[in-house]
Structure 1
Amino acid sequence: MSVPIGNEPSHLCCCEYVNRKGERSHLLACLCDCEDIDLAFDNCINCNKVQSNTMRNISATIADRCRIPWCGGRGAIQVRLDVIFPIIMVPSCILLGSIGPVMTIVALVSMPFLMFLFYRIWRRHHTQVRTKFFSSWANTSIIFSYFVFQTFVVAFRKILLWEFLLFFTALLALFYVLYLTKKNPGFLKFGHADQETPTVEDPQSWRPNSKWIESLKNSDKNWNDVYLNGDAKIQIDANGENHSISSSQYNMTNNCVNESMAPMIPMELVTWVDSRPIEGHYLITWCGFCNLQRPPRTGHCYVCNSCIGVRDHHCVWIDNCIGANNHRPFLVSMILFIFCGIYGSHLTLTTVCTPEIYYNWILWPNDCRFLYSDFQTSISFVTACYVIASTSIILLAFVQQILFISQNVTSQELHRATMNGKSCIGLYAYNNVHNRGLRKNWMEFIFKPSRSISPKIPV
């Protein structure tokens, strides 16, 4: 039952809330009075198509009514579906998998399928770019896996004290490094959400950069057929030849009017690996979202809505960009996650299975015939299988990071190189001017505050 409220704020009890229509409602009425759900059921019964607007309204209504009681006078607080769904799905699938071996396979295979199905449906009806879905999935997996380890595996009393302390210390270190990774990745400037991306099809008036004109004079390139916006022509004496530069085809944004900003570089001259995009046969060095002249190795993240120095990628599992300031703790967090996943699974499997010792100190699970004899053993085994699968995926991503750092290239630079046909199977970048050799690349990544920019790239 919903009651309209006036403009004056009123005190709400722990189970009341103001719904999206501005009416006071109660948690007990969460399953009542939804015309869109009634309409959808009627269409299904009559074999009629359910309209997309009806499904969008149902999704909005469910999201609005998904709340938990809360004290403080503001009523029940809203819980985001993209956050709560992984919290429910991960434990449910693991619990179902503990029934038997067939259910284990079904649960572990269906879990990612159901997760991505929900994400696709949720994304279809929500316009916001940023979501906590994947970070909620990752955090729930880590916390629930440790809960099973602490509650069921340790209860067997087969794990030595130093083994438990080693695992627990590594897990604490993982959370600490993730905290460091979540800090500023190297934000240069934040953009405006309502600003459109500049394109070369929308010419705007601008005047050329004096530094750029000077670079034309000192260049040995052929600058014929280089154009600027407008009707004015500029005569530049380069290597004894006069070049007529018209402004009818060379496009910039409306903000490019001060002399400190460089214009776009023709695509034919871009022989190096660059993280900045190429659009309309030009290398775009200006970010229209952030109103910023992007230096080399800089990328704009549409999720963080910011330009980030030496941007590698946006990691959805921690909901944060990886850039100049947090790439090293990110790599350390991957190492700790892999260690905790492998070591925790090893301790679990050697506990629930009868182990056999090799070389007088290595235990290996040998007899696993009684995995589903009781709930304690089965849930420990299913959780270990889930952790092994997750760790294998992170291990592949870690190997990819090792390859990229070894050649001093970021994921964004390699992505641009692949789009421009300058990479080998998406793992090696040609004409990488930042590559200084394996040893120097790693020394720079480990010891220098930020990775350097090659002077061969014009700024």
Structure 2
Amino acid sequence: MMRAGKVKKKPRRGSETEESLCCCEYINQKGERSHLAACLCDCEDVDEACDRWISRKSSQPEVWARALETASDRFRVPWIRGARRIDVSIIPPLIVLPAALHLAALHVLLAVVTLTSLPIFVIWYYHLTHRRKGKTLLFLSLALFSLGYMYYNFVQEVFIRGDIGWGHFISITCGLLLTLLTLVKVKQDPGYLLKHAKDSGMKSEGGCELANGIQTVRDCDGFPQPQTDGDSLVAEKNWCKMCQLVRPPRSGHCMICGFCVRRLDHHCVWINNCIGSHNHRFFILLLLFFLFTSVYGITVTLNLLCRGRNAFVALLYCPGVYTEYSTAFNYTCVWYCAIVTAGMAYILLIQLINISYNVTEREARIALRNKTARRMFCGLVVDTGAYNQGFFQNWQNFLQMDCSASADELGAIV
């Protein structure tokens, strides 16, 4: 009886495998244990792609896609409790940016070609990934590395040489720290509705369940569907088939993140996160802190490189700056910062205009596509008229934006 009562519990295979992994082991795509020392062995996908390339046979796009996926999966570094995968998209900015800036410092014509090519490449890559709805860390890596690299050059080339005082150095350092701290806040939950539904608990009673406080029923295939109860009918546009929940008004589904976000504005590739009701205000602060720090650093550096000239004039014309490589490199870095600052200033301008008219970027795109919005000032202003309550009221609503769903929002669904 005692033996029958004692039942030996069988340990779970997944947890046992994970605990027994050394720092150089990992779980591969097939769910098997693999070792970094054997990362070049048993690569059928890579071998097939190479064989087709050597024999000059036509290769299907999925062959190269599988080879790239396999190579990226095995690109790892030793870490505690198993090797960690490194996203290959973070590497190009670490190599291309310093090489491009040093190349541009050799001659003014090289500077024009290089500094023009960089934005074109970034825009092309953005459209490529955005069209495929792919999530990449290249833009976030480029943004963080640009901040660190420009700050390092500022300290190395300007501050250590004694050209500026502690006041300028402390101001730029504080601006950089505030930018990074605000970036951490923006990277947090933007207002995922799926997470909210799980936290609040989805109850199942008699084939029905409550998702975000609104009752749904399951169809013959087992998928939840909006409940129709007399005059109460959930609008079809508020039902997300992918997340299987009812969205409050002004919410949307992000195809890149794969979640529904409350009051979705857009998916920002520079922070690799959505902008929603939870982090929209911090996103505005992030742009403001960055622009202040960048403009201040550009002005201080230009006053040293082109003494006696206005900062704006010195940015366009600074004679003798290419006589020495150090000054040419600093001037190239200033121009790179100016290009990035102009792009971020444009984003901030669009954000401020949209807030003033109480419209999100997503709503503006949908309204323009459906031709239900007014375009003013060369397309900078897009007024849908759906939520516009006046300039001051719109800003008051934005600054007092509640992170949780209000009763009015939930009542507007039905």
Q: Which TM-score band (shorter chain)?
A: 0.7 to 0.9
The residue aligned with 2:110 is: 103
1:10-21 mapped onto 2 (5 Å cutoff): none
The residue aligned with 2:226 is 256
Deviating more after overlay: 333-342 vs 291-300: 291-300
Tell me if 1:372 matches 2:325: no
Pick one of 417, 425, 432 that aligns with 2:385: 432
Residue 151 of structure 1, aligned match among 142, 156, 174:
156
TM-score w.r.t. structure 1 length?
Answer: 0.67
* Equivalent residues of 1:95, 1:379 under 8 A apart: yes
Partner residue in 1 for 2:75: 66
Q: Does 1:314 align with 2:270?
A: no
Bigger Cα Rg: 1
Take 2:129 and 2:388, find their aligned partners in 1: how far apart are those partners? 42
1:300 aligns with 2:270: no
* Aligned pairs, number: 367
Against the structure 1 CA distance between its residues 40 and 157, is the aligned structure 2 distance closer, same or farther, given a 3 Å change threshold? Answer: farther
TM-score scaled by structure 2? 0.74
Q: Which has the higher helix share?
A: 2
CA distance in 1, matches of 2:71, 2:289: 38
2:365 aligned with 1:395: no
Instruction: Kindly provide the CA deviation profile for residues 166-205 of structure 1, in whole angstroms up to 9, marking residues without a partner as x.
Output: 111111111111222222222222499xxxxxxxxxxxxx
- Structure 1 residue corresponding to 2:143, chosen from 114, 138, 144: 138
Q: Which of 13, 30, 50 matches 1:38? A: 50
Q: Does the Cα contact within 8 Å between 2:374 and 2:384 map onto a contact in 1?
A: no
For the Cα contact (< 8 Å) 1:328–1:446, is it kept in 2?
Answer: yes
Query: 1:185–1:323: 8 Å Cα contact kept in structure 2?
Result: yes
Q: CA deviation at 1:36?
A: 3.6
- The answer to whether the 8 Å contact 2:373/2:385 transfers is no
Identity %: 27
1:51-450 alignment, distance < 5 Å: 51-68=60-77, 70=78, 72=80, 74=82, 76-115=83-122, 129-190=134-195, 254-257=224-227, 259=229, 262-263=232-233, 284-351=237-304, 353-356=305-308, 365=314, 368-425=318-375, 427-429=380-382, 432-449=385-402
Query: Following the alignment from structure 1 to structure 2, what is the Cα–Cα distance between the partners of residues 29 and 411?
Result: 44
Alignment RMSD: 4.0
CA distance in 2, matches of 1:305, 1:13: 32
Distance 1:330 1:261, change over 3 A: farther
Cα distance, 1:254–1:172 mapped onto 2, change above 3 Å? closer
Q: CA 1:24–1:333 in structure 2 vs 1: closer, same or farther (change >3 Å)?
A: closer
Q: How big is the shift at 1:388?
A: 0.6
Q: Deviations over 1:24-73 (max 9, x none)?
A: 56569759985345324424xx5x544324422432343244334x2547
- Consecutive unaligned residues of structure 2, counting only runs of 5 or more, are 1-15, 198-207, 209-222
Runs of 4+ in 1 over 4 A off after TM superposition: 7-34, 113-124, 258-262, 426-431, 450-459
Change (3 A) 1:417 1:158: same
In 1, Cα distance between the equivalents of 2:237 and 2:320? 62
